[in-house]
Amino acid sequence: HQQGAERAAQLSEELRVEREAADAAAQRRADLQGQLSRLQAEQNVCSESCARAAENLRMASAACSAEKQRADALHLQLDAVKPAQEELKKKHHAAVEQLEGLRGEREHDATERDGLRDSLDQERGAAEEARRCKAEAQRALEEAGPTQLSSGDVLISVAFHDIPQPLELMPWDTNYESVVAKWLAGAQRSSRLQSSVVKYLTHLEATAQAFPVRVEASLLEVHEEFAF
Protein backbone atom coordinates (compact mmCIF):
# COMPACT_ATOMS: atom_id res chain seq x y z
CA HIS A 1 0.00 0.00 0.00
CA GLN A 2 2.85 2.37 0.78
CA GLN A 3 4.48 1.64 -2.58
CA GLY A 4 1.23 2.39 -4.33
CA ALA A 5 0.98 5.68 -2.50
CA GLU A 6 4.55 6.60 -3.42
CA ARG A 7 3.90 5.64 -7.02
CA ALA A 8 0.77 7.74 -7.05
CA ALA A 9 2.69 10.65 -5.52
CA GLN A 10 5.45 10.24 -8.12
CA LEU A 11 2.96 10.12 -10.96
CA SER A 12 1.19 13.10 -9.49
CA GLU A 13 4.49 14.97 -9.37
CA GLU A 14 5.34 13.97 -12.94
CA LEU A 15 1.89 15.07 -14.04
CA ARG A 16 2.40 18.41 -12.29
CA VAL A 17 5.79 18.83 -13.94
CA GLU A 18 4.36 17.91 -17.32
CA ARG A 19 1.49 20.34 -16.78
CA GLU A 20 3.92 23.05 -15.83
CA ALA A 21 6.01 22.17 -18.88
CA ALA A 22 2.87 22.19 -21.03
CA ASP A 23 1.82 25.50 -19.55
CA ALA A 24 5.31 26.88 -20.13
CA ALA A 25 5.26 25.54 -23.69
CA ALA A 26 1.83 27.06 -24.22
CA GLN A 27 3.04 30.36 -22.82
CA ARG A 28 6.11 30.19 -25.01
CA ARG A 29 3.96 29.32 -27.99
CA ALA A 30 1.71 32.27 -27.17
CA ASP A 31 4.73 34.50 -26.83
CA LEU A 32 6.10 33.25 -30.14
CA GLN A 33 2.71 33.72 -31.73
CA GLY A 34 2.66 37.32 -30.45
CA GLN A 35 6.16 37.91 -31.75
CA LEU A 36 5.13 36.38 -35.07
CA SER A 37 2.11 38.66 -35.23
CA ARG A 38 4.28 41.66 -34.43
CA LEU A 39 6.84 40.59 -37.03
CA GLN A 40 4.09 40.12 -39.61
CA ALA A 41 2.70 43.55 -38.79
CA GLU A 42 6.18 45.05 -39.03
CA GLN A 43 6.71 43.17 -42.29
CA ASN A 44 3.44 44.54 -43.63
CA VAL A 45 4.47 48.06 -42.61
CA CYS A 46 7.90 47.51 -44.15
CA SER A 47 6.31 46.16 -47.34
CA GLU A 48 4.04 49.18 -47.55
CA SER A 49 7.00 51.48 -46.92
CA CYS A 50 9.02 49.66 -49.57
CA ALA A 51 6.09 49.94 -51.97
CA ARG A 52 5.75 53.66 -51.28
CA ALA A 53 9.52 54.09 -51.61
CA ALA A 54 9.47 52.18 -54.89
CA GLU A 55 6.58 54.34 -56.13
CA ASN A 56 8.38 57.50 -55.03
CA LEU A 57 11.54 56.25 -56.74
CA ARG A 58 9.57 55.52 -59.89
CA MET A 59 7.97 58.97 -59.80
CA ALA A 60 11.33 60.61 -59.07
CA SER A 61 12.91 58.69 -61.94
CA ALA A 62 10.07 59.74 -64.22
CA ALA A 63 10.41 63.36 -63.09
CA CYS A 64 14.17 63.20 -63.55
CA SER A 65 13.70 61.77 -67.03
CA ALA A 66 11.16 64.49 -67.85
CA GLU A 67 13.51 67.19 -66.56
CA LYS A 68 16.35 65.71 -68.62
CA GLN A 69 14.14 65.73 -71.70
CA ARG A 70 13.12 69.31 -70.95
CA ALA A 71 16.77 70.30 -70.45
CA ASP A 72 17.71 68.63 -73.73
CA ALA A 73 14.85 70.46 -75.46
CA LEU A 74 15.99 73.78 -73.97
CA HIS A 75 19.55 73.11 -75.15
CA LEU A 76 18.23 72.43 -78.63
CA GLN A 77 16.21 75.65 -78.56
CA LEU A 78 19.25 77.57 -77.29
CA ASP A 79 21.41 76.14 -80.06
CA ALA A 80 18.69 77.06 -82.54
CA VAL A 81 18.46 80.71 -81.42
CA LYS A 82 22.23 81.28 -81.15
CA PRO A 83 22.62 82.16 -84.87
CA ALA A 84 19.68 84.56 -84.64
CA GLN A 85 21.20 86.07 -81.49
CA GLU A 86 24.53 86.56 -83.25
CA GLU A 87 22.73 88.14 -86.19
CA LEU A 88 20.89 90.48 -83.82
CA LYS A 89 24.21 91.44 -82.21
CA LYS A 90 25.66 92.24 -85.63
CA LYS A 91 22.60 94.30 -86.52
CA HIS A 92 22.83 96.08 -83.16
CA HIS A 93 26.49 96.94 -83.70
CA ALA A 94 25.72 98.10 -87.24
CA ALA A 95 22.85 100.24 -85.97
CA VAL A 96 25.10 101.76 -83.29
CA GLU A 97 27.77 102.55 -85.89
CA GLN A 98 25.14 104.03 -88.18
CA LEU A 99 23.76 106.08 -85.31
CA GLU A 100 27.24 107.36 -84.48
CA GLY A 101 27.74 108.22 -88.13
CA LEU A 102 24.43 110.05 -88.26
CA ARG A 103 25.31 111.89 -85.05
CA GLY A 104 28.62 112.94 -86.58
CA GLU A 105 26.88 114.03 -89.78
CA ARG A 106 24.33 115.95 -87.76
CA GLU A 107 27.06 117.73 -85.81
CA HIS A 108 28.87 118.47 -89.07
CA ASP A 109 25.65 119.75 -90.61
CA ALA A 110 25.00 121.90 -87.55
CA THR A 111 28.51 123.34 -87.76
CA GLU A 112 28.14 123.94 -91.48
CA ARG A 113 24.70 125.48 -90.92
CA ASP A 114 26.12 127.82 -88.29
CA GLY A 115 28.93 128.74 -90.66
CA LEU A 116 26.46 129.41 -93.46
CA ARG A 117 24.32 131.47 -91.10
CA ASP A 118 27.36 133.52 -90.10
CA SER A 119 28.33 133.95 -93.74
CA LEU A 120 24.79 134.97 -94.60
CA ASP A 121 24.76 137.47 -91.75
CA GLN A 122 28.08 138.87 -92.96
CA GLU A 123 26.81 139.09 -96.52
CA ARG A 124 23.64 140.79 -95.34
CA GLY A 125 25.71 143.23 -93.32
CA ALA A 126 28.01 143.84 -96.27
CA ALA A 127 25.05 144.33 -98.60
CA GLU A 128 23.42 146.72 -96.14
CA GLU A 129 26.68 148.66 -95.81
CA ALA A 130 27.04 148.70 -99.60
CA ARG A 131 23.51 150.03 -100.01
CA ARG A 132 24.20 152.67 -97.39
CA CYS A 133 27.46 153.74 -99.02
CA LYS A 134 25.85 153.77 -102.43
CA ALA A 135 22.94 155.82 -101.15
CA GLU A 136 25.34 158.29 -99.55
CA ALA A 137 27.37 158.51 -102.75
CA GLN A 138 24.25 158.98 -104.84
CA ARG A 139 23.01 161.62 -102.43
CA ALA A 140 26.33 163.41 -102.69
CA LEU A 141 26.17 163.29 -106.47
CA GLU A 142 22.59 164.54 -106.48
CA GLU A 143 23.56 167.40 -104.17
CA ALA A 144 26.49 168.26 -106.47
CA GLY A 145 24.04 168.47 -109.38
CA PRO A 146 23.80 166.67 -112.69
CA THR A 147 26.36 168.99 -114.33
CA GLN A 148 29.07 167.48 -112.08
CA LEU A 149 28.65 163.99 -113.66
CA SER A 150 30.81 162.98 -116.59
CA SER A 151 31.83 159.80 -118.38
CA GLY A 152 34.70 159.40 -115.95
CA ASP A 153 32.52 159.54 -112.84
CA VAL A 154 32.33 155.86 -111.91
CA LEU A 155 31.86 154.27 -108.52
CA ILE A 156 33.85 151.13 -109.28
CA SER A 157 36.11 150.26 -112.20
CA VAL A 158 37.66 146.79 -112.43
CA ALA A 159 40.29 146.04 -115.07
CA PHE A 160 40.36 142.27 -115.55
CA HIS A 161 43.49 140.68 -116.98
CA ASP A 162 43.38 139.95 -120.73
CA ILE A 163 40.04 141.78 -121.12
CA PRO A 164 40.33 145.20 -122.82
CA GLN A 165 37.02 146.61 -121.61
CA PRO A 166 36.94 147.30 -117.83
CA LEU A 167 33.85 146.54 -115.79
CA GLU A 168 32.44 149.86 -114.62
CA LEU A 169 29.70 150.53 -112.12
CA MET A 170 28.07 153.95 -112.30
CA PRO A 171 26.35 155.69 -109.37
CA TRP A 172 22.91 155.17 -110.92
CA ASP A 173 23.47 151.47 -111.60
CA THR A 174 21.22 149.56 -109.20
CA ASN A 175 20.88 146.28 -111.06
CA TYR A 176 24.31 144.69 -110.70
CA GLU A 177 23.18 141.51 -112.44
CA SER A 178 22.20 143.43 -115.57
CA VAL A 179 25.47 145.43 -115.63
CA VAL A 180 27.57 142.28 -115.22
CA ALA A 181 25.54 140.34 -117.80
CA LYS A 182 26.08 143.07 -120.42
CA TRP A 183 29.79 143.27 -119.62
CA LEU A 184 30.25 139.47 -119.87
CA ALA A 185 28.44 139.43 -123.20
CA GLY A 186 30.62 142.25 -124.53
CA ALA A 187 33.78 140.57 -123.25
CA GLN A 188 32.63 137.23 -124.70
CA ARG A 189 32.85 135.45 -121.38
CA SER A 190 30.55 132.73 -119.95
CA SER A 191 27.37 133.86 -118.21
CA ARG A 192 28.13 131.31 -115.47
CA LEU A 193 30.62 133.85 -114.09
CA GLN A 194 27.83 136.38 -113.44
CA SER A 195 27.05 135.38 -109.85
CA SER A 196 30.68 135.45 -108.67
CA VAL A 197 31.38 138.81 -110.39
CA VAL A 198 28.24 140.36 -108.83
CA LYS A 199 29.40 139.17 -105.39
CA TYR A 200 32.85 140.64 -106.10
CA LEU A 201 31.35 144.04 -106.99
CA THR A 202 29.23 143.95 -103.83
CA HIS A 203 32.36 143.10 -101.82
CA LEU A 204 34.31 146.01 -103.36
CA GLU A 205 31.48 148.43 -102.69
CA ALA A 206 31.06 147.24 -99.10
CA THR A 207 34.76 147.43 -98.25
CA ALA A 208 35.64 150.64 -100.10
CA GLN A 209 37.03 153.45 -97.96
CA ALA A 210 36.49 156.04 -100.70
CA PHE A 211 35.11 156.33 -104.22
CA PRO A 212 35.85 155.90 -107.02
CA VAL A 213 37.35 152.43 -106.64
CA ARG A 214 39.78 151.36 -109.35
CA VAL A 215 41.33 147.89 -109.11
CA GLU A 216 42.85 145.17 -111.27
CA ALA A 217 41.89 141.52 -110.88
CA SER A 218 41.91 138.07 -112.46
CA LEU A 219 38.50 136.88 -113.58
CA LEU A 220 39.44 133.26 -112.78
CA GLU A 221 40.58 134.13 -109.24
CA VAL A 222 37.42 136.17 -108.64
CA HIS A 223 35.27 133.25 -109.76
CA GLU A 224 37.17 130.77 -107.56
CA GLU A 225 36.86 133.03 -104.49
CA PHE A 226 33.24 134.19 -104.85
CA ALA A 227 31.60 131.25 -106.63
CA PHE A 228 30.18 129.83 -103.36
Q: In a 10 Å sphere around its CB, with 0-12 CB exposed, 13-18 middle and 19+ buried, how is residue 205 labelled?
A: buried
- Measured between alpha carbons, how far is residue 84 from residues 72, 77, 78, 87, 95 in Å? 19, 11, 10, 5, 16
The helix/strand/coil state of 158 is strand
Chain centre to alpha carbon of residue 152: 68
Range of the domain at 165: 150-226
Name the amino acid, one letter, at 111.
T
Within a domain: residue 38? no
Within a domain: residue 110? no
Band of the pLDDT at 48, cuts 50, 70, 90? confident
Predicted TM-score (pTM) of this structure: 0.36
Within a domain: residue 209? yes
pLDDT digits (tens, 9 = 90+) for 71-96: 888 788 878 878 888 888 888 888 88
Within a domain: residue 208? yes
Contact (Cβ atoms closer than 8 angstroms) between residue 171 and residue 138:
yes
Within a domain: residue 190? yes
Within a domain: residue 203? yes
pLDDT digits (tens, 9 = 90+) for 131-188: 676 666 656 655 654 434 454 578 899 999 989 999 999 888 889 999 999 999 999 9
pLDDT digits (tens, 9 = 90+) for 175-222: 999 999 999 999 999 999 999 999 999 999 999 888 889 999 999 999
**How many domains, in total, are found in the chain?**
1
Within a domain: residue 69? no
Within a domain: residue 7? no
